[in-house]
A and B are shown apart, each in its own frame.
Chain A
Amino acid sequence: MTSKQTKAGKLGEKITGAEALIRGLEMENVDVMFGLPGGCILPAYDPLLKSSIRHILVRHEQGAGHMAEGYAHVTGRPGVAMVTSGPAATNMVTPLCDAFMDSIPMVAITGQVSTSAIGTDAFQECDTVGITRSITKHNELVMSAEDLPMAIRQAFHIATTGRPGPVLIDVPKDVLQNTMSWNWPTDDEVADSLPGYKPNTKGHTRMIKEAAQLILRSERPVLYVGGGVLKARAADALRALAELTQIPVVTTLMARGAFPDDHPLCLGMPGMHGTATAVTAMQKSDLLIALGARFDDRVTGKVNGFAPDAKIIHVDIDPAEQGKVRKPDVPIVGDCRLVIEEMVKAIQELLQGGTAQANVDPWRSRVSGWQEQFPLTYEQSEPGGPLKPQFCLEKLRDAAPEGTILVSGVGQHQMWSSQYWRFNEPYTWVNSGGLGTMGFSVPAAIGAKVGRPDKTVWAIDGDGCFQMTAQELVTASIEKIPVKIGILNNSYLGMVRQWQEMFYDERYSEVYLSPDTPNYVKWAEAMGCVGIRVDDPSEVEAAIDKANSINDRPVVVDFRVDAREIVYPMIAPGTTNDAIMLPPSQSGRKEFLK
């Protein structure tokens, strides 16, 4: 700010810490926050009455956290959640950890007991900063009202730069009540206050050149694209790199949509439930170009059998990801967009300088052969047979308006969603990848719809997941957030059932929920939503059309699907990706995967 006036008030003006907190959020261009008031955070809710910030009142603090995540996923802006101390703060633990694992920019504000009461086991006191230390990118207990503006500036700066992540600010009640003199630190002051925080965004020029040479020399390259490409808003740069080099692309669970599924170079998702082509292409590759990906165990399978012949170029903004799982041949620390753009330039320079690219045509045709032999498939029911979850997804996908955002929970339905949807735009897929948080989808969908009210938001949930956070549909109804929820209801904890079927000799232990309790239609209606039940394949299209036509309230569609359905392909835990299990209709063709 150039003058003595900030847009939220005059510098030096005497205001309360609570007013400073809300002003600070306004200064950071926060337009919406998700939260629930209580004892220690009460002072902050008073200035909120006259603030421009929209507050969404949730029914459980975990919902506020996941909503903030969903909002951040689709907008790229940090999601903000504000709750009170003690149990509210501990309810925020799951979303914080989820955001930490998936590198979601998020700022959580928690109330704390007054500074004089800290450490006395006061009512609703807990060591929030201690509890959340290992699941936040940074956290801070603010002990003076004067320090609030700097704490807020640091929080937003840290959450959104480098590898994004959640930051928590813990604010004691008296700090909110005390008077302070309004101040707003400059960018330089923020930088000076964080001498140990200087994320490196620009990749090392020599390394980028080395990578370019390696790319042109390799005969069986694969672009291994992770969520970092979306965080860096590098989808266009990635497309330019893929098209320039004609290298096939796999997009991990966190990167679905970073490269269009309809593109001829796209091989889909790799990993435990990835396509046979994506998995095998990585296994047979001589060069993996890992872009914002972290060699997660769900992608690599048994690490020492993963892509055994491949050299590795690893681009990641987090230096600690380099060599954490697999030692890279060319490590590049930097922002994916900047590095990929430089890589494209370096490759173009080499090509113009007369360096020829190795012939990747034989590799491409090998890969296309796998694509033809091993499409995603399931066995459709005979008329009168049970409803297949994959069929519901295909119908939903085909009827979805352009640019629909798909959100999912965790389990079988999540894998089918990732497999059967066609993601052609970035930021249209929201899910819990790293932490695998059941109950994520309903609140995350609400947050996504708040962030992108112009888009249709569908959540695909399991019946197990839905029962964990369904109460947030009350929030959605009251706040007029018209999300659509499709429950793939098989009355089971489906993925656990699948593992018990495959790895525990069909000994089903504690996975059966109930075929008729709860009554999802009545439950939806009780929460102010439209409820629709679908039992037969013939009813699917009409139900989806009806759901798509309703835009004044949330809709819940209860798809009663076949419980015996298994997610294929699958790589059993502890095995290498060569041991991929194909769907029964393809298992006779395994020799083609060479």
Chain B
Amino acid sequence: MSSANPYGSAPTHHMLSVLVQNRPGVLARVASLFARRGYNIFSLAVAPTEQVEYSRITIVVDVESAPLEQIVKQLFKLIDVVRISELDPRKSVERELMVATVKAGGTERAEIVELVNIFEGRILSVGSDAVIVSLDGSPEKLDDFTELLRQYGITESQRTGRVALPKLDTATKVAKAPNTQGKAK
């Protein structure tokens, strides 16, 4: 499976990789800015980076809700935001993790195990009539996997939201319209 958007079409979402100072309340600042300005968050993933003083927030935003440029500029105004990179889904490596509890009684169990093997997933827990499976990969791969599992009955599932980095040999486009220069170096 390709890790990039396999369709190569115009993206329906934008990914922002936001480097922030790792300080109390920084996620609340970002989230409340989105709420206050009426921007929609599609998914969100947060964790410290290799430098402990910084965290990286990967936000997938719905481009319908507001012009991306305005979202980026408003985010820049938060004092704790250090750098914003816009990641084009076609030029980025995206990964997401999911876990799901799937009904697996009788013969269906073997089919599910086979499916998990094909997708290179894992079985994390086995019960008398259900299994918990996990899969990491591109969001599209997770979508496909979810679709195929649905026929067996998914009783619970959780996805992490995507994390992403720019593909190698592709310059990261630091969000830098002529009017945002000077903030992120």
Contact = CB atoms under 8 A, between A and B. Distances in A.
Contacts, number: 65
A196 B21 contact: yes
B65 to A, nearest CB: 15
B93 to A, nearest CB: 25
Interface string B21-32: 100110011001
B182 A199 contact: yes
Nearest to A154: B79
Interface string A163-203: 00000000000000000000000000000001111111000
Interface stretch (B101-109, B136-144, B173-181): B173-181
A405 B63 CA distance: 47
B116 to A, nearest CB: 43
A133 B24 contact: no
Interface in A270-325: 318-320, 322-324
Contact of A320 (B25, B29, B76, B181): B76
Nearest to A206: B178
Q: Which of B181, B182, B184 has the most CB of A within 10 A?
A: B182
Nearest to B24: A141
B76 A319 contact: yes
Contact of A196 (B69, B178, B183): B183
Contacts of A130: 28
A322 B82 CA distance: 20
A570 interface: no
A521 interface: no
Contacts of A333: 178-182
A35 interface: no
A129 B178 CA distance: 33
A204 B177 CA distance: 12
Interface residues of A, number: 25
A404 to B, nearest CB: 36
A195 B36 CA distance: 24
Interface in B149-185: 177-185
Contact of A133 (B32, B67, B82, B184): B32
Contacts of A194: 79
B16 interface: no
B70 A324 contact: yes
A266 interface: no
Interface residues of B, number: 31
Contacts of A133: 25, 28-29, 32
A322 B179 contact: yes
B79 A197 contact: yes
A320 B181 CA distance: 12
A254 B24 CA distance: 35
B31 to A, nearest CB: 10
A438 interface: no
Interface string B120-139: 00000000000000000000
B70 A323 contact: yes
A204 B79 contact: no
A198 B182 contact: yes
A220 B179 CA distance: 26
B21 A331 contact: no
B41 interface: no
A356 B29 CA distance: 51
B25 A129 contact: yes
A417 B77 CA distance: 34
A537 B151 CA distance: 86
Given A133-B32, A134-B32, A323-B70, A196 B78 contact: yes
B76 A195 contact: no
Given A134-B36, A138-B79, A158-B79, A196 B182 contact: no
B12 to A, nearest CB: 22
Contact of A195 (B32, B69, B82, B179): B82
A134 B33 contact: yes
Contacts of B67: 323
B183 A198 contact: yes
A197 B73 CA distance: 13
A323 B179 CA distance: 10
Contacts of B82: 195-196
B20 interface: yes
A196 B69 CA distance: 18
Interface string B42-67: 00000000000000000000000001
A338 interface: no
B80 interface: yes
Interface of B: 20-21, 24-25, 28-29, 32-33, 36, 67, 69-70, 73-74, 76-83, 177-185
Given A141-B24, A320-B77, 7 more contacts: A134-B36, A138-B79, A196-B81, A320-B76, A322-B73, A323-B70, A333-B178
21 contacts: A133-B28, A133-B32, A134-B36, A137-B79, A141-B24, A158-B79, A195-B82, A196-B21, A196-B76, A196-B81, A196-B183, A197-B79, A200-B181, A200-B182, A204-B181, A318-B77, A319-B76, A320-B74, A320-B77, A333-B178, A333-B180
The 3 closest A-B pairs by CB, nearest first: A200-B182, A320-B73, A196-B82
